[in-house]
Each structure stands twice: as structure tokens, then as C-alpha cells.
Amino acid sequence: MQSQDRQGHWQNVYTTKAENEVSWFQDSPAPSIELIMQAGATATSAIIDIGGGASRLVDNLIDHGFEDVTVLDVSEAALQVARSRLGDRAAKIDWIVADVTTGEPPRTYDVWHDRAAFHFLTEESDRAAYVKRLKQALKIGGHAIIATFALDGPERCSGLPVVRYDPESLGHVVGPAFELTDRRQHRHTTPWGTEQSFQFSVFCRTDKP
């Protein structure tokens, strides 16, 4: 999928549906918060949420005292939902409208978090572009938390095909510059009660090329 097509798709989703009318909605992103804390993040750690959109992770990060949070999403409409929900607290967040496969990271981060964005990259060229930017953006010793549909998860989401992973296959894609340090299975319940199987993989950025 071309970048402009991706942007159009997600703009349409977030201008036609409420945040709790999409399958990936979480009122409380507990697995993500737990893994971010376990990665050793402190209040001053730089955290970027890739494909964060209208996710409530940003609210929870603020509530936990994190002071340096960036949310990147291809959809301006999705980010506007989050900004409106946060009100005055939105000024504490760095909001970036960009496609992670084409935009250049503005800085480096201690934690790269991605829940359910990477699995939409079905073309090898897009996955390679994502990994290139992951390497540019994540500090040596920093942690990447990437959650995708597990091998027994759905084959499609939001009308689009996805690629399903386990930690080993995901590690093969991100390459030797990232060492797998943790893994979690998670059963996500959609707003309409359907269960979806996710895997969360945590990688530490090494000094390998």
C-alpha cells in the first residue's frame, strides 16, 4: 500500500468511527504500560508511540508521570481525537503526523512502542523502511516494544490484510541489531466481545549494524 493510500484509509476510519468503535480500542493498555515500566523507563525517558492514533496509552503515560512522550500517526484525525480527549494536557505531548515508513525520525528515543501498526506492513519494502527508521530513532540500549497479531490471530483488520508473527519471526525481520529480551501473549477483547490473539515482543537495541 502506498503511503498516500495508507493515510487516506486511516483518515477515513477516524472521521467515520468513534474511538471505541474500532476493534483495537483499549480502555486500559495494561500490557504496554507494564512492558514500558519493565524496560526501565523513567519519568524523563523519551518514549515514542508509533501508530498511536487515538490510543489511550498516551493518557496512561501522563498519569504515570512520564514527561517526554511523542505520538506518531499517519492520520491527523486520529491524533486530533487524542488531543481533544486530553484537553490542556495535550500540550505536554509531541504530536507527529507522518507515515513511519517515509518520515524521518526527528530525534532519538529510549522506548519505541508499536501496538498493531507493524502488522499492516505487508510489503517487504515497507517493512525494511520501518526497520531503517527504528534503527535511526532508537538509542543503543533502548527498547522496542512491538505488538502484532499472533500466529493464531486475525488475518485481516479494518478491511486490510495483515502479517501475523511470533517473537522469532518478528526478530528475523527486525534483524541482529535488536535482541529479543521479553515476549508476551495477550488476548485482546474487542468492544463487541470478540477475542483477538496478540503477541508482544520486546527488543533491546544493540550496537550491531
Q: What domains sit in the chain, N to C, each tagged with a CATH number? A: 3-15+25-205 (3.40.50.150)
Separation CA 11–CA 4 (nearest Å): 10
User: pLDDT for 64-97, tens place per residue?
Assistant: 999 999 999 999 999 999 999 999 999 999 999 9
Q: How confident is the model at residue 209, as a pLDDT?
A: 72
Query: Contact at 8 Å (CB) between 37 and 8?
Result: no
Decide: helix, strand or coil at residue 147.
strand
Provide the 3-class DSSP secondary structure of residue 207: coil
Helices (H), 101-148: 124-137
pLDDT (mean) for 22-35: 95
How far is the C-alpha of 122 from the C-alpha of 131, rounded, in Å?
Answer: 14
Which string of b and e fits 76-107 if b means at least 16 CB within 10 Å? Answer: ebbbbbbbeebeeebeebebbbbbbbeeebee
Give the closest residue to 147 by CA, choosing from 118, 172, 180, 121: 118
- Its pTM stands at 0.95
- 172-179: average pLDDT: 97
Query: Do residues 70 and 109 make contact, with C-beta atoms less than 8 angstroms apart?
Result: yes
CB-based contact 113:57 (threshold 8 Å):
yes
Instruction: Give the cell for residue 112.
Output: 519505541
Residue 2's pLDDT is 63
pLDDT of residue 1: 62
The set of residues, in sequence order, having a beta carbon less than 8 Å from that of 87 and lying 6+ positions away, is: none
Residue 31 has pLDDT above 90, yes or no: yes
Distance CA 178, CA 100 (A): 18
